[in-house]
Amino acid sequence: MAAAGVAPVRERFVASKEQFHAYLRANGKPSSRGGGEEEEEEKEKEAGSEQSEPPAKRGRLDAQDQDGERQGEPEDGEKEPEDGEKEPEDGEKEPVERKRARGQNKSRPCMKPNHYEKSRLCPSVTQGCAEKCYFGPQCRFLHDVGEYMAAKPADLGHSCVLFETFGKCSYGVTCRFAKAHLGDGYQNVVNAELAKQWEGKSLVRNNLSKDLQHQLRKKKFTFRRADEYLRSLAKLHGNGGKGGKAPAKHSAEGEVVSDCTTLEDGLGDVLECSVLPEEGGDPKAAPVQCPHPTEGEAGCPTKTAGPVTDEDIVKLRSCEKKKLEIQGKLYLAPLTTCGNLPFRRICKRFGADVTCGEMAVCTNLLQGQSSEWALLKRHHTEDIFGVQLEGAFPDTMTKCAELLNQMIDVDFVDINVGCPIDLVYKKGGGCALMTRSNKFEQIVRGMNSVLDVPLTVKIRTGVQEKMNVAHKIIPKIREWGAAMVTLHGRSREQRYTRVADWDYIAECAKIASPMPLFGNGDILSYEDANQAMQTGVSGIMIARQVTAFLLLSLLVQGSKERNEQKYLNTGLARKSWKPFQLMSSGAVASVMMHVLFVRRGALIKPWLFTEIKEQRHWDISSSERFDILRDFTNYGLEHWGSDTQGVEKTRKFLLEWLSFLCRYIPVGLLEHLPQKINERPPYYIGRDYLETLMASQNVDDWIKISELLLGPVPASFTFLPKHKANSYR
């Protein structure tokens, strides 16, 4: 019988920590040494390596009852005395900061590109234009290919994924798989027939051009719509937009605007008041544009030639905007660090319908930072794709929305009002916006006025635990013009600990109607998805694609018995009869199919989308899981490059993902199904060596897996995962 908070693994697979690591050290072979000798070696290994294990992954289920056993150890959130810091003397009472364990490993080691290669080849040589070096006589890179090849590390393999896929590797001699495509004299070989098939095709969209980056850095980009909205705020408040409420839904003449028209629709450029910087913001971050846009600026953002069309002079009303048609689909939520483009491609392959880029900070985008714009890239296989923005003030968020509306290809834009990390919260963004309703309203209304695509909002239940406020905010968000709300069933204080409150999500779904509300939290199996489905009441359901279209087509006008018989014939009744009863019990016209939001569950098992659609538990083998990792590395080399820097960046994100994948317990090892996301995996020996290796929470074992795919790590390589696993509660 498994202990509370521990996943129930069959007894014959369970092992002690010493047995587990001894099995891995022996490469899956039975050890002939005594158990005591193994335990001593294990203790010596732990004492000699501080970074072998990530921070403790133990749930503190009964920590409050064991204070006496931890007198010499600081509680979570208490600070140990740093170097040079004095201990409090006897009699002095120092206030103790009771902070919860945070979810990031701060001050972790950072490996820069120059740590991987001491002598790097000049990019002009790689691109075949050495005579036109970008850096001129001051170039510090090598220009002699022979000298570079003499110092270059050995190749990592005999086949290059870029050459095999596209017929050409743009990294040439710097590729770590260069043997596959180098000819005599280090000439880069090209497969002309294969390269011609990809000629002119754009595989990745939403790239940052040098011209746009220059405009943003020099503050020469024109934000016509955003400036109109910000001038309207300043005019109506008379205080430069500081504080106060966002404009009510009235026209400039005081007449009430219809339901499909917002205030911004009728303001035009009549208002000429300048906009003062936001309180607490950077005055330079919001330059005031000319209040009277020129004739060339007043039209459509896309420059056209020929007669003026309606699109050039008429602004879309809210009811005319493109609709977000994602009902009944599986939505891969934005995932910081791990939700990169190669990972999203893996999830798309397993059945994710809607994908979203990682959270991007609006101020960094407005400054033209290449690293931030990389988060907006969209692969051509992502047919429904959105981006998520984070910000704290209406001027930067509105301008960023207009920038993206003009420059990138997306199907929706999401505002992150659910981010719990301190760095964002203390600046007024993320969850802090739930307590700053005026700024929140100005941001939503402003972004909605400049976007031609739907605007969605991600929130949590509240800031503090047991003090839910989402039900008060959701009706306001609907009134402000958002097309959809996603509710994570935890507060900021909870972060990812304890279970998500799906009962509260169901209550909020009623309040949100007719605006769609999508639930989020603790989905790790199709049974979790079915249970989430059942939380929908009064015709509002949080559903998934496997039954969405089937049920929607079945529920035609007719008797309940006739619908039940049709449903039984589909073969789905074994697993989802109760959701059908909920749907068929109400009026067909009132049923609204909503999206299932998948987040951490996809990191632990990306094949979750297949399980939900096919309504089954997939006992995936270790070799199949290893093939998934191989596909990820190939996608990573394709996205980040096959040179040394690209290989090590791929390795970094692979290791970050492995820090989540190790939590998965194979279906065949569980005492009963399904595995719960907040249950801590015990030490167990799998059905083969690779399955056991993938279950290790030791950083060294993750590195060993990466070496099976990407070759040996560079000298003095170190790694510590960005996210801690403090959510086993």
For 544-591, write each residue's pLDDT tens digit: 332 333 233 333 333 444 444 443 443 433 333 333 343 333 332 233
Is omega for the bond preceding 514 within 30 degrees of 0, making it cis? yes
pLDDT at residue 287 greater than cutoff 70:
no
Q: Which of 338, 419, 431, 662 is catalytic?
A: 419
Query: Containing domain of residue 171, as a range?
Result: 119-205
Return the higher-pLDDT residue of 56 and 613.
613
- 520: β partners: 488, 597
Domain end call among 579, 614, 649: 614
Q: Which of 635, 613, 629, 631 lies closest to 706 in space, CA to CA?
A: 629
Same domain, 570 and 495: yes
Which structure tokens are listed for 555?
Answer: 């529920």
Here the CATH number for the domain that contains residue 362 is 3.20.20.70
Please report whether residue 222 resides in a domain.
Answer: no
Residues 500 and 488: beta-carbon distance below 8 Å: yes
Q: Helix (H, G, I), strand (E, B), or coil: what is residue 494?
A: coil
Please report whether residue 257 resides in a domain.
Answer: no
Same domain, 640 and 594: no
- DSSP code string of 301-336: SS---SS--HHHH-PPPGGGSPP---TT-EEE---T
Return the higher-pLDDT residue of 44 and 81.
44
Residue showing tokens 């958002």:
482
Q: How confident is the model at residue 502 (pLDDT cuts 50, 70, 90)?
A: confident
Strands 384-390 and 455-460: unpaired
Q: How confident is the model at residue 103 (pLDDT cuts 50, 70, 90)?
A: low
* Cα torsion angle, 215, 217, 219, 222, sign: positive
Same domain, 397 and 523: yes
pLDDT at residue 690 greater than cutoff 60:
yes
pLDDT at residue 282 in the model? 39
Q: Could you give the number of structural domains in the chain?
A: 3
Same domain, 592 and 646: no
pLDDT at residue 584 in the model? 38
Same domain, 640 and 660: yes
Residues 490 and 500: beta-carbon distance below 8 Å: yes
Please report whether residue 639 resides in a domain.
Answer: yes
Same domain, 544 and 644: no
Q: Position 62: which residue type?
A: D
pLDDT at residue 234 in the model? 87
Same domain, 441 and 500: yes
Same domain, 605 and 631: no
Same domain, 432 and 573: yes
Same domain, 352 and 380: yes
User: What mean pLDDT do residues 120-142 have?
Assistant: 83
Neighbours of 205 (CB within 10 A): 15
Please report whether residue 423 resides in a domain.
Answer: yes
pLDDT at residue 210 in the model? 94
Q: Is 419 a catalytic residue?
A: yes
Same domain, 651 and 587: no
For 196-242, write each residue's pLDDT tens digit: 999 888 899 999 999 999 999 999 999 999 999 999 998 877 654 44
Domain end call among 143, 178, 205: 205
Distance between CA atoms of residues 196 and 203, nearest Å? 14
Beta strands in 448-502 (DSSP E): 455-460, 484-488
Helix H or strand E encompassing 628: helix 622-640
Q: Position 622: which residue type?
A: S
Distance between CA atoms of residues 696 and 688, nearest Å? 13
User: What mean pLDDT do residues 127-132 have?
Assistant: 75
Domain end call among 205, 230, 258: 205
Q: How confident is the model at residue 316 (pLDDT cuts 50, 70, 90)?
A: low
pLDDT at residue 51 greater than cutoff 90:
no
Distances in whole angstroms, Cα of residue 28 to Cα of each of 20, 691, 692, 710: 10, 10, 8, 22
Same domain, 650 and 608: no
pLDDT at residue 676 in the model? 87
Residues 165 and 338: beta-carbon distance below 8 Å: no
pLDDT at residue 594 greater than cutoff 60:
no
Residues 487 and 460: beta-carbon distance below 8 Å: yes
Please report whether residue 722 resides in a domain.
Answer: yes
Which structure tokens are listed for 572?
Answer: 């789905």
How far apart, in Å, do the first and last CA atoms of the chain sit? Answer: 18
pLDDT at residue 301 greater than cutoff 80:
no
For 31-40, write each residue's pLDDT tens digit: 554 445 555 5
